[in-house]
Chains A and B, each alone.
Chain A
Amino acid sequence: MKYGMFWGCLIPARELSYEVSVQKVMPAFGVELVKMEDTNCCAPFGIQSLDYTSWLALAARNLCIGEEMGLDIMTLCNDCYESLLMVNTILKAHPEIKKEVNEILAEVGKEYKGKVDVKTMIDVLYDDIGIKKVKDVIKKPLTGLKVATQPGCHLTKPKRIHFGVREFDALDELVKATGAETVSYERREMCCGGPLRGINDELARDVARIKLINMKNVGAQCIVTVCPFCFVEFDLGQLEIRRHFKEEYNLPVLHFAELLRVAMGMKLDDWEIKSHRTPLEPILKGRVKEG
């Protein structure tokens, strides 16, 4: 199985352990990730806020690259996923908008045709690979680990392009496949606050705090996410919350790819463990030899 890999900007620039983990776990399922070359900004919500047509054209240019490769696109970041998925959905449904976008793309020698699909790593594992095969590769089941999942808004909302809440359940099912438990917490579907980071950091922090309280209340031992913005929000956010509110949550944050990697019996390198601001050691202890 081959996919055009769209890495986005935040993960390669800030969350290298996520990038490395994806490359380590996906080959176990026979998945080949072919890097998409010369991509551009996915045009996330900040850019969509500025101009509708620029959003469509920027996202569509990336979709064209997947089409040229003849491969469906795999994304990791929720913002990349939502932007590319939304634009693909709009352009497939509205020939008149497609025509307008193609006039812009002609400037850069591209033409959008509407021939590929956009998926996240969660879609690929859940739909294309299947839970059974994920269970098959688990060598060190994470028995007894209580996980609060944070799928993030743009994996599941708006429902009309995401088929309801399936992806919420998909992430939980995948986490359970590693042998861990998932906890049900209040307002799980709520935003992490990430989009306000850089706009109003205090407010972003306060939104994250509501979720941390709810996770801690039901006995979560760690947070598992797929979105690099959710990751920053909870990982760095816990330091800010400690400083401001004098509250300790001590909830390590892992990307699902990292959790899967550990359950597959592959250790995280020392630099990867240290790249998490909220210490990971409490949950890794006794599971996989560190460093």
Chain B
Amino acid sequence: MSLDSNFMHEVANTPRGRGILACIQCGRCSGSCPVARLVADHNPRRLMEMIILGSRDEIIRSQLPWYCLSCFTCLDRCPQGGDVAEVMFAIRNLAVKEKNMPDGFAAQAKNLVETGRVVPSITSIVSKRVEVGLPKEHSTATKDVQKILKKTGLSKIIASKGMVKE
């Protein structure tokens, strides 16, 4: 696979990607990562290295940046201010622009567009709420969510995944 020598700068120029420029490949992030303990392939240092070296195609299609729990332990421990967990968001955002996202994330997006929430209420819960004296639901501005996502272009990307109507 060909390397993209500009990729590190492309990432650095996204809102959450600047930390990549600070990475010295010390590996403290990998030593701190709860997922790296369990999944040998999920190695934050290695992911940072792939960005620095320009393995754009590989990383944009990879599931591994999506395994990050966003626990921010690596970010707190990085001696360089490399903001590894933030860089994972930068990579995910770039991947989404090219319509790459795991099904679990697409499902959250579908709920968001259709209901204005990531975890929608279900019928059995509504009756339980009423039974125990809680309001049926807390009001949600679903239409406003749809307007915002239309304006930012996210609803178009989600629609292109075939999960919801634009």
Contact = CB atoms under 8 A, between A and B. Distances in A.
A51 B96 contact: yes
B73 A157 contact: yes
B35 A198 contact: no
B73 A189 contact: yes
B119 A9 contact: yes
Nearest to B16: A52
Interface in A198-225: 198-200, 203, 206-207, 210
Interface in B89-119: 89, 92-93, 96, 101-102, 104-105, 107-109, 112, 116-119
A154 B140 CA distance: 24
B34 to A, nearest CB: 5
A199 B105 contact: yes
A190 B73 contact: yes
B104 A52 contact: no
A170 interface: no
A39 B71 contact: no
Contact of B34 (A20, A61, A158, A210): A210
Nearest to B133: A20
Nearest to B109: A50
Interface residues of B, number: 59
A50 B101 contact: yes
Size range of the chain A interface in the assembly = 35 or more
Given A9-B117, A158-B85, A195-B70, 20 more contacts: A13-B119, A13-B120, A41-B118, A46-B108, A46-B109, A49-B89, A49-B105, A50-B158, A51-B96, A52-B14, A52-B15, A57-B148, A57-B152, A104-B152, A190-B71, A193-B34, A200-B67, A206-B38, A207-B34, A210-B37
Interface of A: 7, 9-10, 12-14, 16, 19-20, 35, 37-41, 44-54, 57-58, 61, 104-105, 107-108, 153-154, 157-159, 189-191, 193-196, 198-200, 203, 206-207, 210, 269, 271
20 contacts: A13-B125, A39-B139, A41-B117, A45-B70, A50-B92, A51-B154, A52-B14, A61-B141, A107-B151, A153-B70, A153-B72, A154-B72, A157-B71, A157-B72, A157-B76, A159-B76, A190-B34, A191-B71, A195-B69, A210-B34
